[in-house]
Structure 1
């Protein structure tokens, strides 16, 4: 006949795995890790193997899980080794009944979960690492237990305690992960604001990539930049909720919005539908590192529209006005060159200045005959010839200098629209310099 103790061991040996899982679940639900009654002698045998086990688990994690790869003397290797060592040593204490909980180890695993979420990762890699470490530790313990003649019943209890402990660590990882996701979702607009500021100041690429990842805003291959302003009681919308894929600062003057080039038309339609009184200037598609340049173009387009240098429309397409945006990129330089190159014109009467500059600019841009120019200007060809005679008197041989002609063309192209729109500052500056 079988002895009572033998029957007990056979029952333990044949206990279904579902019952063991249920037992581990009960242990985990209680929040306690009961010591399995492992002889202290086994623990004494196990302790010398800990450093090698920690190193083996750490190395395997880095070798087998690409997300945790790195040099053996690197910071990541040290962090993994610290976590593995802390967990194993805490488990050893549990087996001896000396400890049921470790705030330090729990905090460490919560921080690991938090870090995965903060980096924009899911829990797959860290869960795989936990499984790998568990297998390595269990294989080591089973081997030593077998060598020490540990009974199947005690070995089963040891396994239940180990897997309940691992479940507990997995829970800590999840707690940290969820905490980070909650914090990130709560602060997502703050992070996106930092990302937009970094893009505008052309921050280093690694900083931008980190901010983009934390902001859950994948960097597009091409973006469109918008400038927006409004008059009167019109309020520029904050697109953070209605268009979360758009980075924006509605508190700037003018407001700034950035979106992927594929979404640009939708953004225009959306803003026009919710705030039709808002005027928009949109850039052509640019790379992410050109956002500061595109921002300047949209701001300049809005200013030029205010001056009537370009048509003042509800939506200004910078691509259609690139020449004027370029020519007005250095206002101080335009003013200085106007005083130097167009001085003879500035000295003319307002009416003479208007018709001569109009005729000269047409000729510089087309080099057409007097009849062709006259047709475009709506005057007689002889009138054009008279004007051309006066232009030659004002500029003389300078009109035969190619460099002068190029500069003259650009300055006139930039300045004439201002004069036509009623801007008198060039003439006032000329009179001021003449009288000083």
Structure 2
């Protein structure tokens, strides 16, 4: 049939029966999907959505054709080709699809025959429906065949290309199904969790895939290079990365995450490198993100930190540099410990009376706000995020305050 061809006219009773079936397409499709899932092998777990879409789409399209409507084949053909492609790409047998089509066809035909008996449909009308369904199923089977052949060919292609696609899919937050397809094409076992690394290279360097173990995926993603591997291989692959990248490189290793969280892990690993460059995190050849998870979290939203600094820290920003430094030092220790003046003095190595003088000034600056639990919590997190930047020489908060206040 052509892309917009209408099916030959059916007897009026058959048309009437198909019309009565329109409102029940979804529940029938759900029932067929459930039965198919129960009968198919365990390897097809997670196929429910694609099975339902295929059954529901085919039923709706078949009814449209039977009712003489202009019903393009484009969408339904594309979906069944994708079914065939996905099954082949995952290395499954073609028999899975053929068996599913046979079972779905049998269930739908049983439903049509039951309705035919209930409504005393003529044998001629039932035969016409049978011929139409046979031709329709043959057409869909041909689409599955085309998709399966394409999937088989793709699976046999260079797995380096497939692995590059897998990295792209993982970093873009693709569905589990998409990642499984690309992992199968690349002959890479997709683990329950992965370790994501961001490699900071010098002089436009690049790490070749063959420099790492086969369990590692890697690709240059400016300004850093990504490496993804199973957690149990992370230590060995980190050493390989260091050897391949050179002594001037730096590797940020995130803690293990599920594959669907790779985009977040990639952000965290790169954030850790940025914090090293900002001198918030100590500069080391290998950065263990787990050890600096608090810093990564506190600096996850730099724009929000800047805005909160202008709002919550305005009294401190207005102080002289020396006053701001000693008051911030005292306030942060109090927020972290809630200790008395003598205890804070012991931590800072000053006289308790000095702490009392400072605390008096802090109360003058912040007043009743220091008795607000929510304000105090925000102030603690904000200072823990901001003070390391100030100590490292970042003066942007003070410059921004002066610009706003003139």
Same fold (TM over 0.5): yes
- Return the offset for 1:242: 3.3
The one of 372, 375, 378 equivalent to 1:404 is 375
Within 1, Cα distance between the matches of 2:222 and 2:396?
Answer: 28
- Return the offset for 1:331: 0.8
- Is 1:315 the counterpart of 2:286? The answer is yes
SS of equivalent to 1:196: helix
- Is 1:427 the counterpart of 2:398? The answer is yes
Within 2, Cα distance between the matches of 1:278 and 1:291?
Answer: 22
Give 1:214-225 correspondences, 5 Å limit. Answer: 214-225=185-196
- Return the offset for 1:116: 8.4
Give 1:366-377 correspondences, 5 Å limit. Answer: 366-377=337-348
- Could you tell me which runs of 5 or more consecutive residues in structure 1 were left unpaired when the two chains were aligned: 1-63, 76-113, 130-175
Give 1:259-298 correspondences, 5 Å limit. Answer: 259-275=229-245, 276-298=247-269
- Return the offset for 1:289: 0.9
- Return the offset for 1:245: 1.6
- Is 1:303 the counterpart of 2:292? The answer is no
The one of 246, 259, 264 equivalent to 2:216 is 246
Give the direction of change, closer, same or farther, for the CA distance of 1:345–1:197 in structure 2 (3 Å limit). same
- Return the offset for 1:183: 6.8
Within 1, Cα distance between the matches of 2:159 and 2:212?
Answer: 14
CA-atom RMSD, angstroms? 3.2
- Could you tell me which runs of 5 or more consecutive residues in structure 2 were left unpaired when the two chains were aligned: 1-38, 56-84, 100-147
1:118-138 C-alpha deviation (Å, 9 max, x unpaired): 443599x89xx9xxxxxxxxx
Give the direction of change, closer, same or farther, for the CA distance of 1:363–1:213 in structure 2 (3 Å limit). same
Within 1, Cα distance between the matches of 2:181 and 2:321?
Answer: 58
Within 2, Cα distance between the matches of 1:430 and 1:226?
Answer: 37
Give the direction of change, closer, same or farther, for the CA distance of 1:236–1:375 in structure 2 (3 Å limit). farther
- Is 1:353 the counterpart of 2:327? The answer is no
The one of 417, 423, 434 equivalent to 2:388 is 417
- Conserved in 2, the CA contact under 8 Å of 1:189 and 1:240? no
- Is 1:210 the counterpart of 2:181? The answer is yes
- Return the offset for 1:182: 8.9
SS of equivalent to 1:250: strand
Within 2, Cα distance between the matches of 1:242 and 1:398?
Answer: 55
Within 2, Cα distance between the matches of 1:409 and 1:205?
Answer: 39
Give the direction of change, closer, same or farther, for the CA distance of 1:115–1:194 in structure 2 (3 Å limit). closer
- Conserved in 1, the CA contact under 8 Å of 2:89 and 2:181? no
Partner of 1:165 in structure 2? none
- Conserved in 2, the CA contact under 8 Å of 1:359 and 1:384? yes
Give the direction of change, closer, same or farther, for the CA distance of 1:306–1:68 in structure 2 (3 Å limit). closer
**TM-score (norm: length of structure 1):** 0.59
- Return the offset for 1:389: 1.2
How many residues in Structure 1 have an aligned counterpart in Structure 2? 282
1:319-360 C-alpha deviation (Å, 9 max, x unpaired): 111111111111111101000000000001111111111110
Within 2, Cα distance between the matches of 1:369 and 1:239?
Answer: 57
- Conserved in 1, the CA contact under 8 Å of 2:251 and 2:285? yes
1:119-170 C-alpha deviation (Å, 9 max, x unpaired): 43599x89xx9xxxxxxxxxxxxxxxxxxxxxxxxxxxxxxxxxxxxxxxxx
Partner of 2:305 in structure 1? 334
SS of equivalent to 1:281: strand
- Is 1:389 the counterpart of 2:363? The answer is no
- Conserved in 1, the CA contact under 8 Å of 2:195 and 2:234? yes
Give the direction of change, closer, same or farther, for the CA distance of 1:278–1:65 in structure 2 (3 Å limit). same
- Conserved in 1, the CA contact under 8 Å of 2:196 and 2:269? yes
Partner of 1:229 in structure 2? 200
- Return the offset for 1:262: 0.7
The one of 335, 346, 361 equivalent to 1:364 is 335
Within 2, Cα distance between the matches of 1:320 and 1:66?
Answer: 44
1:38-63 C-alpha deviation (Å, 9 max, x unpaired): xxxxxxxxxxxxxxxxxxxxxxxxxx
